[in-house]
A = this chain, B = another copy of it.
Amino acid sequence: VSKIIEMLEAQWRGNKFVCVGLDPDIQKLPKKFNQLDPEDAIADFCMQIVDATQEFVCAYKPNFAFFEQYGPDGLRALRHVVSHIHATAPDAIVILDAKRGDIGSTSSALACAAFDVWGADAITVNPYLGRDAIQPFLDYKDKGVIVLCRTSNKGATEFQNLRVGDQPLFMRVARAVADEWNGHGNCGLVVGATAPQELNEVRQAVGNMPILVPGVGAQGGDLQHVLRAGLTADGGVLINVSRSVLYASNDQDFAQAARKEVERMNVEIKHFLVEVSR
């Protein structure tokens, strides 16, 4: 098992299953950020969210696109936020949500960017191009590679649920990752909370592999079901929440409100664990 999975397992032993997605949108920030340049505003906002929530989370998931939309300065903010997480919350894992994947030499550049330039511990990747497109990421054996399997959006079924032989495409992806791509023990999968049946199927097929589950909160996925379907003896799930935490309040108290929302989720998770252990 890779160092990155050991880090995750330590977090899970501390009952930390929540991953906070960092999707900064200048339009949605509390008023006081209006006075700053966009890059300072999004960096400050994210760092205050990190400071307020780190007691309760196993990971942060900065979303590349939300920084990229502010250009080179936005990406300078991304690097700043990632450094801040490593410096102030060293146990938290930084997952760069970038959904990468390209042919060989390009994927090498992407992997270098993700891990060496932006400083991420793990990255999300898209499997459509096949294993050789993902290999340069897998070769960073202390880093996590989280492969899109069944995404949380409505249109996910268009291709992901098509039957190939005796199984849907997303299960074919799940099995390829579990059986063939995971030689360094550094793989994970993305399965949306909005697809509860698919989450069951994937968990049954992939043993203890970590599953990143977006879609609880603003997208309507059910936390209880995610826990029932996704948890393993070691932990096994990272439950991502973004908007419902980041924008829990759009006033001065935004950081406290974010903390409260994550704490509320943690209480719900602990209740579930107590119920299950009875």
Contacts and interface: CB of A to CB of B under 8 A. Distances in A.
Question: Which label, helix, strand, loop or mixed, suits the secondary structure of the A interface?
Answer: helix
Contacts of A224: none
B172 A156 contact: no
Interface residues of A, number: 57
A104 B153 contact: yes
Given A65-B110, A126-B126, A158-B130, A103 B151 contact: yes
B102 A102 contact: no
Interface stretch (A159-167, A204-212, A263-271): A159-167
Contacts of A157: 130
A153 B104 CA distance: 8
Contact of A131 (B71, B99, B110, B155): B155
A169 B176 contact: no
A159 B132 contact: no
Given A72-B73, A75-B71, A117-B69, A160 B130 contact: yes
A35 interface: no
Assembly of this chain: how many copies?
2
A106 to B, nearest CB: 5
A13 to B, nearest CB: 31
A110 B68 contact: yes
A116 to B, nearest CB: 8
A103 B152 contact: yes
Contact of A160 (B65, B73, B107, B128): B128
B154 A162 contact: no
A248 to B, nearest CB: 17
5 contacts: A63-B109, A65-B102, A71-B113, A72-B73, A130-B159
Interface of A: 23, 25, 63, 65-66, 68-73, 75-76, 79, 97, 99-107, 109-110, 112-113, 117, 126-133, 148, 151-160, 162-165, 169, 172-173, 176, 214
